């Protein structure tokens, strides 16, 4: 059980890792991705996979690898008005290398800004278009003089190489797997998604030190293509996936939010909805929709896996989204700790959930002689006697068709209380 104090302590751990991950210049491919995986590996050992440029990945192809040495725009006085060294958001992702001088009017065609947030640098990519560009604040853009000349330098390579992902497999008693996935392609954006990377890394460290019933797989991969590459290499083993969650945007102070899988009623949907309802009144459970994060790939019709998504404020719904305002001030140790504790609790529910059959199904068994009922009877259990109620519910529902989670939901009791009651009844020989 994670106490409030523990949640804060591990929230600090997550925040500390997030701070280290923040400046790394990530993209769909390249050294920034590998550096990110190296930082994660310090907490939980990873196995890396390199997918060579040109490899077919379902409807896609692994792209060329992109690495940036530097990039800037300077005005006629030599002043750098945008410099990759200041913020890796300045460079349009997958910009082609260039070294040129052009007029302001022409330069403007290659600039991206956010008129509604004039002090923020947007985050933009053009993975599949042969172009280049810079992202700047709208104030900077406004200062461009159409007739003036500007120097543009993008010292980058776009060459055959590979797309990289890492995974940690924490073996359990069973081959059944719980998949926890996050994306590592976003550069200096704190909530989206340094928060998810850091959370899963700390989670991996924690899980490594506890016994597990099922195998837990942590997947750190660049968005869309990473999960697809993993899926293409593991098609024969997808049956093993008992439940999965994509974890991202988990550091801001918005309420917890779970997005159901495409099927909508799988075990992870049931467990996550239960956990969120128990943890907070503000928590939300959304039906599936086919945009957002990597759950889209796991939930495409050809796979239709039991994989949902856990966030706090999700993609596109916080004003700092995809801009330089999504920085380390947006995320807090407390929110990160609460998110981590939520994932732990979800895993705990999945680990402890079982379907029992009563060994005394004909009438109520005599609980008193097993020490499970008070000696002097006073009638129905009072509302505060949740454990007594849970004992009766578990016995009544133990017909081999209802899981403990089903029982908790029908009884409107916390899973932990129902599971503890089941443990006591199992100890007493009343369940099998």
| Residues at the site binding its own copies, with contacts judged by CB under 8 A | 57-60, 92, 112, 122, 124-129, 131, 133, 224, 227-228, 231-232, 262, 289-292, 296-297, 299-304, 315-316, 321-322, 358, 360-366, 368-369, 375-382, 389, 392-393, 395-399, 411
Please give the Cα distance from 92 to 219 (Å, whole number): 26
Please give the Cα distance from 221 to 182 (Å, whole number): 7
R_g over Cα of the chain: 26
Q: Shortest distance, CB of residue 131 to its own copies, whole angstroms?
A: 7
Instruction: Rank residues 133 and 251 by Cβ distance to its own copies and give the closer one.
Output: 133
Parallel, antiparallel or unpaired: strands 214-221 and 174-183: parallel
Instruction: Rank residues 236 and 362 by Cβ distance to its own copies and give the closer one.
Output: 362
Please give the Cα distance from 169 to 101 (Å, whole number): 50
Residue 231's nearest CA partner among 51, 353, 77 is: 51
Please give the Cα distance from 393 to 277 (Å, whole number): 20
3-state secondary structure of 291: coil
Residue with tokens 């439940």: 243
Q: Shortest distance, CB of residue 29 to its own copies, whole angstroms?
A: 15
Q: Shortest distance, CB of residue 366 to its own copies, whole angstroms?
A: 5
Q: Shortest distance, CB of residue 374 to its own copies, whole angstroms?
A: 10
Q: Shortest distance, CB of residue 398 to its own copies, whole angstroms?
A: 6
Q: Shortest distance, CB of residue 64 to its own copies, whole angstroms?
A: 15
Q: Shortest distance, CB of residue 388 to its own copies, whole angstroms?
A: 8
3-state secondary structure of 102: strand
Instruction: Rank residues 242 and 322 by Cβ distance to its own copies and give the closer one.
Output: 322
Parallel, antiparallel or unpaired: strands 284-286 and 307-311: unpaired
Q: E strands, 222-359, where?
A: 241-247, 257-259, 284-286, 307-311, 355-357
Please give the Cα distance from 426 to 432 (Å, whole number): 7
Q: How far is CA 89 from CA 38, 97, 112, 245, 404, in A?
A: 22, 16, 11, 28, 48
Instruction: Rank residues 147 and 375 by Cβ distance to its own copies and give the closer one.
Output: 375
In contact, 114 and 134? CB cutoff 8 Å? no
Buried b / exposed e across 316-332, counting CB within 10 Å, b at 16+? eebebbbbbbbbbebbb
Q: Shortest distance, CB of residue 294 to its own copies, whole angstroms?
A: 10
Instruction: Rank residues 123 and 150 by Cβ distance to its own copies and give the closer one.
Output: 123
Backbone angles phi, psi at 417, to 5 degrees: -70, -40
Residue 328's nearest CA partner among 10, 2, 23 is: 23
Q: Shortest distance, CB of residue 73 to its own copies, whole angstroms?
A: 18
Q: Shortest distance, CB of residue 43 to its own copies, whole angstroms?
A: 29
Terminal CA-CA length for the chain: 25
239-243-247 Cα angle (round to 5): 130
Kindly give the interhelix angle for 333-352 and 195-208, rounded to the nearest 10 degrees. 50
| DSSP string across 32-69 | HHHHHHHHHHTTS--EEEEEETT-EETTEEPPPEEEEE
Q: Shortest distance, CB of residue 232 to its own copies, whole angstroms?
A: 8
Structure tokens that stand for 310 in this block: 């856990």
């Amino acid at each position: 059980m994670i106490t409030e104090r523990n949640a804060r302590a591990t929230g600090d751990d997550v925040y500390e890792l997030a701070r280290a991950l923040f400046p790394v210049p990530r993209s769909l491919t390249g050294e920034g991705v590998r550096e990110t995986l190296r930082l994660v590996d310090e907490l939980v050992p990873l196995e890396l996979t390199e997918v060579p440029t040109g490899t077919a990945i379902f409807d896609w192809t692994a792209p060329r690898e992109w690495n940036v040495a530097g990039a800037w725009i300077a005005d006629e006085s030599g002043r750098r008005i945008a410099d990759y060294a200041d913020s890796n958001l300045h460079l349009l992702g997958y910009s082609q290398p260039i070294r040129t001088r052009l007029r302001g009017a022409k330069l403007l065609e290659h600039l991206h800004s956010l008129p509604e947030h004039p002090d923020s640098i947007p985050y933009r990519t053009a993975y599949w278009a042969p172009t280049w560009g810079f992202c700047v604040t709208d104030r900077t853009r406004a200062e461009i003089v159409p007739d003036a000349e500007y120097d543009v330098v993008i010292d980058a390579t776009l060459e055959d190489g590979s797309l990289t992902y890492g995974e940690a497999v924490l073996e359990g008693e069973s081959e059944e797997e719980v998949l926890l996935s996050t994306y590592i392609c976003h550069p200096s954006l704190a909530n989206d998604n340094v928060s998810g990377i850091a959370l899963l890394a700390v989670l991996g460290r924690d899980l490594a030190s506890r016994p597990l019933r099922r195998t837990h797989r942590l997947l750190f991969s660049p968005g869309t293509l990473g999960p697809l590459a993993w899926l293409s290499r593991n098609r024969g083993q997808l049956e093993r996936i008992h439940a999965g969650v994509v974890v991202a945007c988990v550091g801001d102070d918005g309420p917890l939010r779970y997005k159901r899988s495409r099927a909508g009623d799988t075990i992870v949907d049931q467990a996550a909805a239960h956990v969120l309802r128990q943890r907070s009144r503000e928590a939300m459970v959304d039906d599936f929709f086919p945009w957002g994060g990597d759950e889209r790939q796991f939930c495409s019709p050809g796979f239709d896996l039991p994989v949902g998504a856990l966030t706090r404020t999700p993609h596109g719904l916080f004003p700092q989204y995809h801009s330089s305002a999504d920085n380390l001030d947006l995320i807090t140790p407390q929110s990160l700790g609460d998110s981590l504790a939520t994932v732990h609790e979800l895993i705990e529910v999945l680990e402890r959930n079982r379907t029992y059959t009563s060994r005394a199904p004909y009438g109520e068994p005599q609980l008193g002689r097993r020490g499970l009922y008070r000696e002097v009877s006073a009638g129905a259990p009072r509302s505060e006697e949740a454990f007594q109620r849970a004992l009766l519910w578990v016995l009544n529902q133990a017909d081999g068709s209802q899981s403990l989670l089903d029982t908790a939901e029908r009884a409107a009791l916390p899973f932990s209380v129902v599971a503890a009651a089941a443990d006591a009844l199992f100890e007493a020989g009343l369940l099998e």
